[in-house]
Structure 1
Amino acid sequence: MKILAISDMHLSTSAADALLSAAGAADLVIAAGDFANQHEGLEAYMARLFPIADKMICVPGNNESLRALQAATEAEILHGTSTMRGGLMIAGLGGGIPPLPPLPWKSWDLTEDQARDALAGVEAADILILHSPPAGLGDNHEGLGHLGSPALKEAMLRIKPRLCVFGHIHDCWGQGGTLGATRWRNLGPDPVWFDL
């Protein structure tokens, strides 16, 4: 399966254009959240992505809530849930995990315990889509240090997906590697191809 993946588009016209241009060759489009900017502009931006909604699976970021994303798109949204596409089991969880330090706007966050509970029912998956990084993987913010989630790392090690993608920490866009059986990548707003 040819998979096109992206995160942290933040209303970028060029990111949307690049995704729409490349998506025709994809069997599946994965978006790891943060379509909006501080909860603004989501509906119009998702309308722009409507032509690929039928092949897109996404999770909400911390710049849009689950409810707002559900109202703005016809794409499939995962949040503590799983789906099957092309013979691959795909699970996902959105939001900022752990909660960010206080900001001048309301980040859509989950606590570590909420993240553990949300993913407790996911026993296995080929792909794990997250918005926030697992602890120690593409999670180093220049000013705040490592912001990854221990709960998400525990879940990734337990679920053992072939691929785990996320975003959230802009300083680490493009970083990737392998941990155990899992290939991981902090995506960023430039579309990335995977073949599973």
Structure 2
Amino acid sequence: MKVLCFSDLHRDKDAALRLVEMSKGADVVIGAGDFANQHQGLADTLEILRAIELPSFLVPGNGETVDELADASREWKSAVVLHGNGTTATTSTGSVELWGVGGGIPVTPFGAWSYDFDEESGAEMLAGCPSGGILVVHSPPINTVDHDSSGRIRGSQSIRDCVERCSPKLVVCGHIHSDWGKQVSVGDSLVVNAGPSGVIVDVDV
């Protein structure tokens, strides 16, 4: 199964147009949050992305809430918003279970506008994650693709614990801009900080 992964568009219409083109070579699309800028302009990119007719799975970033994302993506008929829940993607190449949790985990230093959760809340929302599927999160697992521009680790312990417990085939995240495009492995799990340029990953199903 070819999975197009992206994150952190932040209202970048040109990037959204490129992703629509890239999707022609994929089976499934995953958007790991931050379509908006501080709750502004959420429709800017979603109006473009809704041209994608493939099964598409989205989580909110820390720049939009789950309710805002669900409302804004209502016209994107093939898109499903996940946050503390899961679903199954079925394509001609097979089926895979997905689980999604959005927002900033742990709480960011950005202030009241940021859609954030503490590690305890993160662990609760990740509790139902199945084994061997695809985990979609906005924040990276700690000590993976989560190094900020100063080199400080900014990821989530609860997400890392989930990855180690459930061994998803693929973890798609974003949030930490300085590690966009980077990939690491945690056990048998590939962790991808997708970024707005997007990347297509082959997943065995």
User: TM bucket by the smaller chain?
Assistant: over 0.9
Gaps of 5+ in 1: none
Q: Secondary structure at the match of 1:153?
A: helix
Task: Kindly indicate whether residue 70 of structure 2 is the aligned counterpart of residue 70 of structure 1.
Answer: yes
Residues 46-195 of structure 1 mapped to structure 2, 5 A cutoff: 46-52=46-52, 55-74=55-74, 75-86=79-90, 87-103=95-111, 106-143=113-150, 145-195=152-202
Deviating above 6 A after TM superposition, structure 1's stretches of 4 or more consecutive aligned residues are none
Distance 1:144 1:62 in 2: 21
Q: Secondary structure at the match of 2:52?
A: helix
Q: Percent identity?
A: 38
Distance 2:40 2:68 in 1: 10
Mapped contact 1:91–1:125 kept (Cα < 8 A)? no
Q: Secondary structure at the match of 2:129?
A: coil
Query: Amino acid of the residue matched to residue 55 of structure 2?
Result: K
Partner of residue 13, structure 1: 13
Distance 1:143 1:180 in 2: 27
TM-score in terms of structure 2 length: 0.90
Mapped contact 1:32–1:59 kept (Cα < 8 A)? yes
Aligned residues: 195
Displacement of 1:82 = 1.1
Mapped contact 1:90–1:125 kept (Cα < 8 A)? no
Aligned CA RMSD, in angstroms, stands at: 1.4
Q: Secondary structure at the match of 1:68?
A: helix
Mapped contact 1:53–1:73 kept (Cα < 8 A)? no
Distance 1:66 1:125 in 2: 25
> Which sits farther off after the overlay, 13-22 or 116-125?
116-125
Displacement of 1:185 = 1.1
Partner of residue 44, structure 2: 44
Displacement of 1:25 = 2.4
Mapped contact 2:3–2:26 kept (Cα < 8 A)? yes
TM-score in terms of structure 1 length: 0.94
Displacement of 1:121 = 1.8
